């Protein structure tokens, strides 16, 4: 289920979009101005943001710029101004689509679907590279960089990290990790996994906490929101 953030200072417009979006099966959160939108977008992950331009405290364009500093969430702008230069400015700062008010809710839903489809295609194309803040994991190149510096890991550390990341947010038992990372013919015990997890955490440095210990069970790789 895609998660949408609807940002508009008019409660009526937010509710109309929310009603149609939930009917389409989307999960919807709301913000009444640009500042609130930035706070929510930075603290939670959204699949797409519907952003009004003219709002109190912080306008939509400025809000998009702030959000883009940390996340590249697809954005559809809403505006009563349909001049070409307004649209061009929006596209220049990374907006994915531009809808002029008054708009058809059904048309907006179609545009949301189209933008989400394009975003999914992009993610699928780039699925061999995972990024989180200053951590970049390139599966194809078998390379990990930390804040711009290439990490120096053992082959088994790479294998373990790649398996954890490909199964992100999934609880993995020590037995499962032994089976998948070391193989069926490995003669060892749970301490082997614990030792390599410790080594891997040391290699990840400031991102060591992304590997979460599940007491009595195992581990999982979890992005911190």
Q: Please give the pLDDT value at position 10.
A: 94
Distance CA 161, CA 137 (A): 9
Spans of all domains in the chain:
3-125, 129-221
Q: Which fold has domain 129-221?
A: Arc Repressor Mutant, subunit A (1.10.10)
* pLDDT-based confidence at residue 129 (cuts at 50, 70, 90): confident
- Does the pTM exceed 0.75? no
pLDDT in tens, 174-206: 988 988 888 755 555 678 889 899 999 999 999
pLDDT in tens, 8-42: 999 999 999 999 999 999 999 999 999 999 999 99
Asked if residues 104 and 111 have their Cβ atoms less than 8 Å apart, the reply is no
Residue 162: other Cβ atoms inside 10 A: 18
Asked if residues 53 and 81 have their Cβ atoms less than 8 Å apart, the reply is yes
Asked if residues 53 and 60 have their Cβ atoms less than 8 Å apart, the reply is yes
Q: Please give the pLDDT value at position 187.
A: 57
pLDDT in tens, 71-88: 888 999 998 876 677 777
Q: Rounded to whole angstroms, what are the CA distances from 176 to 167, 182, 199? A: 12, 10, 19
> Which CATH class for the 3-125 domain?
alpha beta
Distance CA 223, CA 225 (A): 6
CA 198 to chain centre: 27
């Amino acid at each position: 289920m895609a998660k949408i953030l609807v940002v508009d200072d008019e409660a009526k417009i937010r509710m109309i979009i929310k009603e149609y979006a939930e009917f389409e099966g989307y999960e919807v959160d709301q913000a009444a101005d640009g500042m609130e939108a930035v706070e929510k977008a930075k603290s939670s992950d959204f699949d797409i943001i519907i952003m009004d331009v003219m709002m109190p405290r912080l306008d939509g364009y400025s809000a998009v710029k702030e959000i883009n500093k940390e996340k590249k969430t697809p954005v559809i702008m809403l505006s009563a101004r349909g001049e070409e230069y307004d649209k061009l400015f929006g596209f220049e700062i990374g907006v994915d689509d531009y809808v002029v008010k008054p708009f058809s809710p059904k048309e907006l839903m179609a545009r949301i679907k189209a933008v989400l489809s394009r975003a999914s295609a992009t993610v699928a194309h780039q699925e061999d590279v995972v990024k989180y803040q200053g951590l970049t994991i390139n599966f194809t190149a078998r390379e990990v960089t930390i804040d711009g510096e290439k990490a120096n890991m053992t082959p088994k550390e790479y294998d373990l990290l790649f398996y954890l990341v490909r199964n992100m947010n999934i609880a993995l038992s020590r037995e499962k990790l032994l089976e998948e990372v070391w193989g069926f013919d490995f003669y060892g015990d749970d301490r082997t996994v614990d030792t390599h997890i410790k080594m891997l955490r040391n290699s990840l440095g400031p991102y060591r906490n992304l590997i979460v210990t599940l007491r009595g069970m195992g581990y999982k790789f979890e992005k911190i929101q």
